[in-house]
Amino acid sequence: MKVTRLAGAMALSFASVTASTAFASNYQLEFLGEKIIASGASFGGTTIGGLSGIDYNKSTGQYYVISDDRSPNARFYTLDINLGATGFNAINFSSATTIKDINGQPFAQNSLDPEAIRVDPVNNTLFWTSERDQNGDPWIREMGLDGLHKNELLTPAKFKRTTATNIGASTNRAFESLTFSNDGNTIYTATEQALIQDDTLSDINKGSNARILVQDVPRGDVTPQVISTREYVYPVGPVAKGDGAGFEDNGLVELLNLGNGNLLAVEREFVSGVGNTIKVFEVDMSAADNVAEKQALDGTETAVSKELILDFDELDLLGNRELTFAYLDNALDNIEGVTYGPEIDGYQTLIFVSDDNFNAFDDGIDGNGDDQFTQFLAFKLKPVPVPAALPLFLSALTLLAVARRKTA
């Protein structure tokens, strides 16, 4: 998503959605390191920028990042990332592949808005999303590693924009996210914020009820179709650092399957003059209502529950920044993508990437802290340790229960 666009005012009133029961997150993130690429850097005749999604192909060890360039040069890159126990050793771009339309041709200018990319664990193809802005409906499509179109999932009608202004995904706030289930036969995406008919957009006073869309993945040579659809309400948080004076926005920009039945969610806040706030949550959908049959939310729904894993404001990024980029004023850029990396010290790693919106890179002279850069951040994904006394406490409860049964 481009964070420089102004949000339209809405005068509708919406009922509050019930949150699921709170839970304690199973994970914590341990910071490994940062790697910055200056905006304006080039590779293969293209400008490196707009990196809105990233995924790791474990079978090849390569990474794919998608650029949200809306020109006929819409593309994804193949990367080699060397990540070690002390952070990034190297990030090298190895290829740039043009994304093609259903006719095998480059897309027309502004006819797409690439946002998320995932490797299909079954067929080793690539699934990707387009947000489309005001120029059309959002989609999930499948392409080969050569960028050629293979298939498309049908977007449910309630997500599509019509001539009416009160239906569909809000402009520039549609499908930013994508992830597969463990077996690869189910795919998840979500609107960045609420559908127009569901709720208002996030602001300093309230959040926004987005929808997670869950679909079966069509396999084989099939006509694009929705085989099975489920939808869940995701409560995007309010804008935390705004004052209501300028552009302020908070949205759900990425999902990642955690493998335990839950999802990892990334919320990205942007406030003019302040910058970005990035928060990572664990999401539990087990008690949430399936709202797929509802054209509009009515306030009786039970949403997914989410628990904060990390607020990136807790990181000392400026203090740990490599000398080459130490003058940069912003600790965080516009983080939009996350993927798994290699295991390090027995722990799974996560790699995040930012979309620099193709904005000018700070040269260290003008002192303009609003300039952007492409940022990679790496973490260890570690289970939350069980308190040492807890097993003894649980054992004592079990023994007490057995003793009571014997004396009853």
pLDDT of residue 385: 84
CATH code: domain of residue 345: 2.115.10
Mean pLDDT value of segment 16-24: 75
Band (38; pLDDT cuts 50, 70, 90): confident
CA distance 378 to 118: 18
CA distance 67 to 358: 10
Mean pLDDT value of segment 193-220: 93
Sign, CA dihedral 8-9-11-14, equals: positive
Count CA atoms within 13 Å of residue 1 on its CB side.
30
How many structural domains compose the chain?
Answer: 1
CA distance 112 to 133: 8
Band (46; pLDDT cuts 50, 70, 90): very high
Percent with pLDDT over 90 in the chain: 69
CA distance 130 to 136: 10
In a domain, 16, yes or no: no
Sign, CA dihedral 161-164-166-171, equals: positive
Spell out the alpha helix ranges (H) of 200-260: none
pLDDT of residue 378: 98
Per-residue pLDDT reduced to its tens digit, 87-105: 999 999 999 999 999 999 9
In a domain, 11, yes or no: no
Q: Which residues of 76-115 are buried (b: 16+ CB within 10 A; e: fewer)?
A: bbbbebebeeebbeebebeebbbbbbeeeebbeeebbbbb
pLDDT at 5 > cutoff 50: no
CA distance 20 to 262: 14
In a domain, 8, yes or no: no
> Which residues, at least 6 apart from 27, have a Cβ–Cβ distance to it below 8 Å?
258, 264, 282, 309, 381, 382, 383, 384
Q: Give the Cβ contact number of residue 186 at 10 Å.
A: 17
Residues forming beta bridges with residue 54, ordered by sequence position: 65
In a domain, 50, yes or no: yes
pLDDT of residue 86: 93
The answer to which of 33-37, 119-123, 174-178, 384-388 has the lowest mean pLDDT is 384-388
pLDDT at 228 > cutoff 80: no
pLDDT at 109 > cutoff 80: yes
The answer to which of 84-88, 148-152, 217-221 has the lowest mean pLDDT is 217-221
In a domain, 20, yes or no: no
How far are the Cα atoms of 138, 152, 161, 195, 398 from residue 157, in angstroms, in the given order?
Answer: 11, 15, 8, 11, 52
The amino acid at residue 255 is L
pLDDT at 305 > cutoff 90: yes
pLDDT at 4 > cutoff 50: no
In a domain, 324, yes or no: yes
pLDDT at 22 > cutoff 80: no
pLDDT at 218 > cutoff 50: yes
1 and 131 Cβ atoms separated by less than 8 Å: yes
- DSSP class of residue 175? B
In a domain, 7, yes or no: no
In a domain, 216, yes or no: yes
pLDDT at 353 > cutoff 70: yes
Q: Give the domain range for residue 396.
A: 27-407
Per-residue pLDDT reduced to its tens digit, 241-274: 988 888 999 999 999 999 999 999 999 999 988 8
